[in-house]
Structure 1
Amino acid sequence: MGLIASAAEMRAIPRSTEFRNGGVSFWYRELGLPQRRAALPGDADYDVCIVGAGYTGLWTAYYLKKEQPDLRVAVLEREFAGFGASGRNGGWLSAEFAGSRERYAKAHGKGPMIALQRAMMATVDEVIAVAEAEGIDADIVKGGMRIVATNQAQKARLLEEIAYLQEWGYWPEDYYLLEPDHEPRLRVDGAVAEAFSPHAARIQPAKLVRGLAAAVEALGVDIFENTAVSELRPREGGRGPAAVTEHGTVRAEYVIRATEGFTAELNGYRRQWLPMNSSMIVTEPLSAEVWKRIGWEGQEVLGDAAHAYVYAQRTADGRIAIGGRGVPYRFASGHDTNGATQPQTIAELWRALSRLFPAAGETPVVHAWSGVLGVARDWCPTVHLDRTTGVGWAGGYVGSGVATSNLAGRTLRDLVLGRSTELVRLPWVGHQARDWEPEPLRWVGTHLVYGLYRGADRREASRSVDTSTLASLASRLAGR
């Protein structure tokens, strides 16, 4: 019955004659898939070996080489630079930081957590500045972030969130409620309240990661693609840490794991970070008449206050790209095949698009895709370097990794170079969570949690003026 329903829903969606599902992402469809760099030629020795050529790995390499040009740095990548979430995300460069502020503060105090949030705000400008300095054209527009509430329960929750965040590092000018006649306008159907933060920018994510990889190479970093790492060996006895691949072993003083949603594929790491799936669709360019009805002249990134929330942007060429969780998790930490996503998820995202922007509901969808992001068991990001083993890592960004990965890269730079800086004293440094449950508990639990969140959204949309108890139950089960 589900397959039949999905097929019927797909027929209802206006799809372009050039519709594509997968192919990594629409962002790469715009650019064309890159020609792959050479694989690792054999055993090698470096000062720092980084596993994963996404934002985290590339930012770490960038800042290490900028700070110490004589450092020998290698980046190992199974596919090509930016193949994972870095080339598939929603293009939100924002100061949002995932994870429980209370959890970090319990170990380090409230002040350091506030410092971490302020560092995230500065990171948005840092990424923009580096892109400009390196000549990376990533369609960046710092138009801020709008979050809309479309029912009374969402409105109450949005007001609570504004008050809450203003206790944790957001000052009144950093996140606030918009007046109904705010300009420039963005007309979201059914909106009953909107909040705004200036600390966000729209980007084309694949352009950013492609340009960053080129900048890293120009600094003298060796990027080896088509090089799958199967094992990370810690420092032991007189033997230094190493990354083991089918093409050879890379020995280094430090090995950095920057694999985010693909971490479960490394030997010994299957239950450390859960690979959460997120999916997107993008329309054909909207007509001038439709844009006149919608507005969106400010180029803000847009999200909603639902539990199973969506995120969207107006692209540089006048499309709407919108994403959400879809099917959140595949059994045994599986992931999509080259970006393909399920018909049911495509239908859900199109319904969300049509609900928020009825004027765009007849604009054909031209592309759909998926990706995975890393989630720790306590939903808190982390960055760490174990000097005893020589192995470091960063990730678990829970979908807010575009800016967080930059902060992680600068922090890993300071950790590797042994510097005592404000960055290494931020409370996410060294944070660790327990492993995820074994299967099938991991699969059952994740789907139960997101099922409850969706049920809560349905209840709130139909009659509730308060946050549904289903959402509270879901959060408790998730350990958030």
Structure 2
Amino acid sequence: MNSPSFWLDSLGPITRRPPLDGDLDADVAIAGGGYTALWTAYYLAKAAPGLRIAILEAEYCGFGASGRNGGWASGAFPVAEAKLTRRFGTDRAAAMHRALQASVDEVGRAAAAEGIDCDWAKGGTLSLVRTPGQLRRARHDPDFVDAATARAICGASDVLGGLYSEHCAALHPAKLVRGLAAAVERLGVTIHEGTRVEQIRNGQITTGFGTVTAGTVVRALEGYTPALAGHRRDLAPIYSLMVVTDPLPAEFWARAGLSRRETFGDERRMVIYGQRTTDDRLAFGGRGAPYHFGSQVRPEYDRVPSVFDALRSTVTELFGIDPPIAYRWGGPLGIPRDWMPSVGLRDGVAWAGGYVGDGVAASNLAGRTLTDLILNRTTPLTALPWVNHRSRRWEPEPARWLGINTALKATALLDAWDRRRPARESTQAGDITS
């Protein structure tokens, strides 16, 4: 594999755009070349065609999470609805969920409008319930479906029910991000690849190739944010890893289902996620890789053999096959201390991110919201609770390393315990882990 993911590899060789060549003046300068940066540039260029917009990307557009993720455009928000309601009130919490759910459709609409064939399929998403403990926690959820309904969608093992939401689409993430990059160029946006941002401050972005001076600068670096001067503790880069099988035969899919390319996972605490690709591969990922001291992000961290083995074993457990794995990869995503994504603009410096792994649709909403903020427009989007939210910074090391990795191990142990608990204990004696 010559690129960081199956998705990117399937597009063939990447030709980088030229780097920045000296100092530059712009109206808006954006650090990052993923979904957040590109959606922001896209909607800004649509709304104000005369703006001079420059994007600065260290590698190439889609090199990070936008070209490596699980291919879910999901309407899920990482903060629980009850917690969001307690903090911001019923109306604002509901508005946040509605806006994010609507963003799923907006991703599909915009992609179609720009002629981006990103293998879009809005089949919804199913979180399988597969243990008695999971059943106890899930069965009163309004999205709960019974075992027969869940099995009709996804023919996995030990299915006791599921949580189904229509607000999710499967897609090819690299086709989307590379298509977006081409679309913003057609709108007059300048993209400088191979240009690493070293510092962001009011009115300026500094790189090794020159300084960009702009009325508004935007930080859109997600899991790579901690490498930026002054931002080491803003987000924790947590790794998520994936595998993709060879194309699987029709007999497998007759049992496994996912006929509308529904995305799927289950109700374990350690996140797993999967989709059926258009060429009948199984793309499957999950968390569990360690956090690295000092929020370090390095290419060698993209591959953790023990996690790849665990993902393969989970596929076997779910579907009863020994899957032929064709690709393995990983990458960092951005986690705020309170798990609350944010988007904002203060003193000429804008930002968005901290999506906790659900950034495909959220980045679209962020791009539209940043557009309104930068153009000084008061809209329903600028009143959403994540606007100008500031998460508490992560603890200094070594407390950060110890806390995050302890939590990861505890999560895995709780899941293992949950799988082994007898039905009577889980469902009748009370679930102390809920």
TM-score bracket for the superposition, by shorter chain length: over 0.9
Structure 1 residues 370, 429: closer, same or farther in 2, change over 3 A?
same
Q: Which residue number in structure 1 is paired with residue 92 of structure 2?
A: 112
Q: Which of 263, 283, 292 is the matching residue for 1:330? A: 292
Q: Which residue number in structure 2 is paired with residue 402 of structure 1?
A: 360
Pick which of 105-114 and 124-133 moved more.
105-114
Q: Which residue number in structure 1 is paired with residue 271 of structure 2?
A: 309
Q: Which residue number in structure 1 is paired with residue 341 of structure 2?
A: 381
Q: Distance in 1 between matches of 2:144 and 2:386?
A: 26
Q: Distance in 1 between matches of 2:119 and 2:146?
A: 26
Q: Distance in 1 between matches of 2:150 and 2:304?
A: 38
8 Å CA contact 2:150, 2:161 repeated in 1: no
Q: Which residue number in structure 2 is paired with residue 52 of structure 1?
A: 32
8 Å CA contact 1:460, 1:468 repeated in 2: no
Q: Which residue number in structure 1 is paired with residue 332 of structure 2?
A: 372
8 Å CA contact 2:155, 2:257 repeated in 1: yes
Question: Where does structure 1 lack aligned partners over 5 or more consecutive residues?
Answer: 1-19, 164-174, 235-240, 473-480
Q: Which of 246, 249, 256 is the matching residue for 2:208? A: 246
Q: Distance in 2 between matches of 1:64 and 1:461?
A: 49
Structure 1 residues 106, 150: closer, same or farther in 2, change over 3 A?
closer
Cα offsets for 1:349-378 (capped at 9, x unmatched): 0011111111xx223101100011111111
1:76 counterpart letter in structure 2? L
8 Å CA contact 1:140, 1:204 repeated in 2: yes
Q: Distance in 1 between matches of 2:242 and 2:406?
A: 22
Cα offsets for 1:126-184 (capped at 9, x unmatched): 00000110000001101110110110111122224x24xxxxxxxxxxx3424515685
1:77 counterpart letter in structure 2? E
Q: Which residue number in structure 1 is paired with residue 158 of structure 2?
A: 190
Structure 1 residues 368, 95: closer, same or farther in 2, change over 3 A?
same
Q: How many residues align?
A: 429
Please give the secondary structure, in 1, of the residue aligned with 2:364: helix
Under a length normalisation based on structure 1, what TM-score does the superposition of the two structures give?
0.86
8 Å CA contact 2:155, 2:255 repeated in 1: yes
1:340 counterpart letter in structure 2? D
8 Å CA contact 1:23, 1:338 repeated in 2: no
Is 1:296 equivalent to 2:258 in the alignment? yes
1:353 counterpart letter in structure 2? V
Q: Distance in 2 between matches of 1:307 and 1:56?
A: 27
Is 1:231 equivalent to 2:191 in the alignment? no
Deviation at 1:328, TM superposition (A): 3.8
Deviation at 1:294, TM superposition (A): 1.7
Please give the secondary structure, in 1, of the residue aligned with 2:378: coil
Structure 1 residues 463, 72: closer, same or farther in 2, change over 3 A?
same
8 Å CA contact 1:254, 1:392 repeated in 2: yes
8 Å CA contact 2:88, 2:385 repeated in 1: yes
8 Å CA contact 1:229, 1:266 repeated in 2: yes
Cα offsets for 1:345-404 (capped at 9, x unmatched): 11010011111111xx22310110001111111111000100x2x101000000110000
2:108 counterpart letter in structure 1? I
Is 1:218 equivalent to 2:166 in the alignment? no
Q: Which residue number in structure 1 is paired with residue 55 of structure 2?
A: 75
Deviation at 1:438, TM superposition (A): 1.1
Deviation at 1:468, TM superposition (A): 6.0
8 Å CA contact 1:138, 1:207 repeated in 2: yes
1:393 counterpart letter in structure 2? W
Pick which of 348-357 and 327-336 moved more.
327-336
1:371 counterpart letter in structure 2? G
Under a length normalisation based on structure 2, what TM-score does the superposition of the two structures give?
0.95
Is 1:30 equivalent to 2:10 in the alignment? yes
Q: How does 1:133-172 map to 2 (within 5 A)?
A: 133-160=113-140, 162-163=141-142
Deviation at 1:121, TM superposition (A): 1.1
Deviation at 1:332, TM superposition (A): 1.2
Cα offsets for 1:61-83 (capped at 9, x unmatched): 00000001001100000000010
Q: Which residue number in structure 2 is paired with residue 15 of structure 1?
A: none
Structure 1 residues 27, 64: closer, same or farther in 2, change over 3 A?
same
Please give the secondary structure, in 1, of the residue aligned with 2:299: coil
Q: Which residue number in structure 2 is paired with residue 419 of structure 1?
A: 377
Structure 1 residues 340, 147: closer, same or farther in 2, change over 3 A?
same
Q: Distance in 1 between matches of 2:371 and 2:129?
A: 40
8 Å CA contact 1:151, 1:460 repeated in 2: yes
8 Å CA contact 2:315, 2:323 repeated in 1: no
Structure 1 residues 76, 138: closer, same or farther in 2, change over 3 A?
same
Q: Distance in 2 between matches of 1:130 and 1:55?
A: 13
Deviation at 1:336, TM superposition (A): 3.9
Q: Which residue number in structure 2 is paired with residue 9 of structure 1?
A: none
Question: Where does structure 2 lack aligned partners over 5 or more consecutive residues?
Answer: none
Q: Which residue number in structure 1 is paired with residue 235 of structure 2?
A: 273
Q: Distance in 2 between matches of 1:415 and 1:430?
A: 10
Q: Distance in 1 between matches of 2:220 and 2:146?
A: 38
Calculate percent identity across the aligned residue pairs: 45
Pick which of 319-328 and 127-136 moved more.
319-328
1:189 counterpart letter in structure 2? S
Q: Which residue number in structure 2 is paired with residue 262 of structure 1?
A: 224
Q: Distance in 2 between matches of 1:396 and 1:462?
A: 34
Q: How does 1:192-207 map to 2 (within 5 A)?
A: 192-207=160-175
2:32 counterpart letter in structure 1? G
Please give the secondary structure, in 2, of the residue aligned with 1:31: coil
Q: Distance in 2 between matches of 1:381 and 1:400?
A: 10
Please give the secondary structure, in 1, of the residue aligned with 2:385: coil
Q: Distance in 2 between matches of 1:457 and 1:184?
A: 25
Q: Distance in 2 between matches of 1:468 and 1:34?
A: 50
Q: Which of 103, 127, 132 is the matching residue for 1:123? A: 103
Q: Which of 315, 340, 353 is the matching residue for 1:353? A: 315
The alignment yields a C-alpha RMSD, in angstroms, of 1.7
Structure 1 residues 148, 103: closer, same or farther in 2, change over 3 A?
closer
Q: Which residue number in structure 2 is paired with residue 478 of structure 1?
A: none
8 Å CA contact 2:273, 2:285 repeated in 1: yes
2:194 counterpart letter in structure 1? N
Q: Distance in 2 between matches of 1:403 and 1:210?
A: 16
